[in-house]
Homo-oligomer: A and B are copies of this chain.
């Protein structure tokens, strides 16, 4: 089994996160990814912490399984190699600011003329069009401008950044969807396409409910903490060794919860009789529940509540998530090969397919220019 994108060659000029995340995902579906890096320096993330000796663990996990060739796109010799690569490629990925590829002579229009089957995937902060197209972006910039920060944080508090780099990563996943759709369309038309994904657009695209609320009520929502705004109890609670979620979405679940924690009198307590009363008195109810839950561990309560039919979950640290048995069973924690022997840790492929192999082990990321000889040989043999 070779994966749905087996045989597809991706030539990847991208660096840092959105683009490399996309090419990692295409690689997970079976594509061959040839990473074209700047001579001497390579992808900026080769210099990003955390390091193991002199190697960036961050780079190693996002670039697992890729090949590397270092090319200077301003040198005639390297341009000739790059053009041979384009002639063999199915997909070109780039994340320069709009205009840079045109100045190199590799803009979409000219490449489409020379290589009509080539699919051109571009990911940038603000996209190839619009008044702010040329501005630089960082993950935090698009999280802020797109609105998601304004609905994340403590109730009444200041906006906080989403801890995962969703400004980059969500754009990377949308880029993959577009690239694969272009591959599908090419089977019928024989022609490549341009896919243009903006990090800012991608942040707006995930707001859904907040847009509907704002449009209908005129009032944009603010940060909601870890509590559902209109259901109680549906929030985080402390146990003796950490925090967990109880999501008791209706009166029946609330009653089950009260029985499960040995506090059946809370069911008929006039302060908590209806969801509205529980919302009005949510701080008090939280204290009443935590009086009990602080006495045992997260594991104890989650097992007990799930058994009783009340949705509940630990709030995992990243370390706990890395050893979660369900995520392990799903091969989501992968060991990335390392020359030192001790593997790096990364996330696996979340797209499980009957036609794609899946493994808890991933091949190593490349040294800068590691595959030059093999790639040149392959091009010459072509």
Contact = CB atoms under 8 A, between A and B. Distances in A.
Interface of A: 4-5, 17, 21, 25, 29, 49-52, 57-58, 60-62, 108, 126-133, 135-138, 140-142, 144-154, 157-166, 169-171, 173-178, 180-185, 187, 189, 191, 193-198, 200-202, 204-218, 220-226, 228, 230, 234, 236, 243-245, 247, 249, 306, 311-322, 324-327, 329-330, 332-333, 344-355
Contacts of A49: 213, 230
Given A174-B173, A180-B181, A321-B204, A50 B130 contact: no
A332 B165 CA distance: 21
A140 B247 contact: yes
Contacts of A213: 49-50, 57, 318
A342 to B, nearest CB: 10
Contacts of A209: 58, 165
Nearest to A346: B211
A352 B127 contact: yes
A314 B159 CA distance: 12
Number of copies of chain A assembled together: 2
A4 B184 contact: yes
Contacts of A108: 354
Pick from A25, A144, A222 the residue with the most CB of B within 10 Å: A144
Contacts of A207: 164, 318, 321, 347
A147 B347 CA distance: 12
A249 to B, nearest CB: 8
A108 B353 CA distance: 12
B332 A201 contact: yes
B151 A154 contact: no
A56 B69 CA distance: 53
